[in-house]
Chains A and B, each alone.
Chain A
Amino acid sequence: MKKRITWDFLMARYPAFFPLILLVLSIAVNLFLQPNMFVRETLNSNMRVFLPLIILAVGQAIVLLGGGIDISVGGVVSIINTILATRVGLDGSSEKMWQFVLISLVAGALAGAINGFFIAYLRLQPIITTYATSFLYAGLALFILPNPGGGIPADIANLYRTSTPLGLPLAFYVIVILLLIWMYVSSTRYGKYLFAVGGKADAAYETAVPVTRVQFSIYVISGFMAALAGIAITMLSGSGNAEIGSSMTLNSITAVVIGGNAFSGGIGGVTGPVMGAVTLSLIQNIISFGHINTWWETLVKATIIVVALAAPGVINLIRRRRV
């Protein structure tokens, strides 16, 4: 029998299909408002701003896939930012910088491990646990750096800001590497476990999936990715601010859901959330280039996001009515 590719088939089989439509749409609108968007410099300056959220969304995607949620990621981003800004300093050597980048990654994974311990081993509820730890982490960041200041050496920040190997922004390579890792991981046993735990943890437990260890691991991964995002945003801004991550948490969750992942876990991937994060950032760009009255910005942005979230549901409703 010949298999017909229908809308329903595409939507069900490829959760990233609809995010792709949204992405193309937002690129088109953005290109209309900012015609030089694909010029190398513009592309790079856009992508380097988008990258921290993209990395954070990848970590959040893994957590949501595994049936959890992590609202402490913004706090981890802030901790990493303050560590780098205070310990390396504006006149630090590059060896010192890379040394603290390593320490940051360990610190991020450790923060994630604390979340994972409470959620997987003590079996606390993810939202409220990571809400509590978000206070711990945001407080720690503020403790390390009470007032905005500090920084990292300018030449290292410029490495992130301006390097375009082979004419493509650095961010592209990071995204491609992340996606390649995901492609490999999702085909391994761990990948299958992740979907099993996110889909139905009880059933996964009955079929001998190490549920607790998988749940623990997703938070470690999320913490690690948050640290990576923290490093990226520090190199982008070049300075320290303990509140830098606080607005990123909810954005990362929105990005993942716009990216087609199910909030309840078990459905989706990482490609969709990456596109979701880019779409979300492009919406911000469109708002700034669209010359919208400042008073209306928040409303317009939020409305676009709600419409983007509602679109698949609306299409489904209309289609079902027609049948």
Chain B
Amino acid sequence: MKRFKISPPVAALFLAVVLFLLSGFLPNSYGSNVKVALSQATNIIRLAVFLGVIAAGQTLVIISGFEGIDLSAGSIVTLTAILTYVMVKGEDNVVLPALLVSLVVGAIIGMLNGIGVTFLKISPFVMTLGMSGVVTGAIIIINHGNVSGKVAPIMTRLIARPISQSIPIPGAIVIWLIFGVLMWLLLERTTFGKNLFAIGVNRVTAKLSGVNVTGMNLATYSLAGLLAGFGGFLVVGNTGVVLIQLGQPFLFPSIAAVAVGGTLLSGGKGSYWGSMAGAIVLTLITSLLTTMQMPDSVRRMVLGGTLLILISIYGRQQALRQ
């Protein structure tokens, strides 16, 4: 019997649409008002941008295999958000330097992760978990209770506001689309991408085929850190304020988004489209649960249950018997 198969990104996106349509039947929802429904949908996608960008780095390390995972992403987001906030101080002309600093700081932390994983043979889970602690510690010292700073108007203009009066699409979504195309190019149309999938499937065969596994590993973790840094820059552009726990709530959802998008956590298989769809599904479920008036405990249980059902549908691994 041939097994029925659909591609996970399509399935996730389909699910998101169905869920969104069904949510129209909820009390205090958009009902039959198409305009409100559209603006609600745009808003959910806008919120998904931040999770989606943070999940990009996660997608890369997870595809690279060897239990690759980045638990420091959340703290990098917080750190670069705070750095941006402090550096910019409401002035437009420092925005680019601040972005550059965010990317570099993220890349350096990612590289340290890479060094630990590659040379010191520490498993990625604990290495990045430890690094997350170190970065959080650094944040506490930098922050020292409170920071003073301000987001530049141009950041809010580009990230949080619609691109123009007539087109009510927030800039963040446009940024995300361009970002998605770049990620697709990186994964599917470059040597880096090919090598990434190669080391994810099997490190030994990749090495024997001439892939520089050590270099790839370092580059992947650095790039993941850089993307998390970019995520922090975007997040602060949207929120306009910084908290010490700003990035942490994105951490495990970013892994879940990758998994929901059909990327194998064991590596070697996946796509960024999947992670984007996963980010939209997760954001949608979370915001639906928020609009439904229920206690926090029930909300958590429903979220857990939904996630379990989601991954049961197509997150299954190969059977032992083949």
**A interface, CB within 8 angstroms of B:** 69, 118, 122-125, 127-129, 131-143, 146, 201-202, 205, 211-212, 242, 250, 253-254, 257, 262-264, 295-303, 305-306, 309-310, 312-314, 316-317
Contacts and interface: CB of A to CB of B under 8 A. Distances in A.
A135 B289 CA distance: 14
Contact of A302 (B133, B255, B298, B312): B133
Contacts of A257: 122-123, 125-126
B157 interface: no
Interface stretch (B1-9, B45-53, B137-145): B137-145
A122 B259 CA distance: 16
Contacts of A250: 129
A295 B139 CA distance: 10
Contacts of A141: 297
A303 B137 contact: yes
A309 B301 contact: no
Contact of A135 (B116, B136, B304): B304
A313 B297 CA distance: 42
A302 B141 CA distance: 13
B295 interface: yes
Interface in B96-133: 116, 119-123, 125-127, 129-133
Interface stretch (B14-22, B179-187, B314-322): B314-322
Q: Is the interface of B mostly helix, strand, loop or mixed?
A: helix
Contact of A263 (B123, B255, B296): B123
Q: Is the interface of A mostly helix, strand, loop or mixed?
A: helix
B134 A124 contact: no
A145 to B, nearest CB: 9
A135 B300 contact: yes
Contacts of A242: 297
A309 B120 CA distance: 9
A253 B126 CA distance: 8
A115 to B, nearest CB: 10
A123 B317 contact: yes
Given A127-B265, A295-B144, A298-B136, A310 B120 contact: yes
A310 B297 CA distance: 39
B299 interface: yes
A263 B68 CA distance: 11
B129 A142 contact: no
Interface string B179-204: 00000000000000000000000000
5 smallest A-B Cβ distances: which pairs? A299-B137, A313-B120, A302-B133, A135-B304, A139-B300
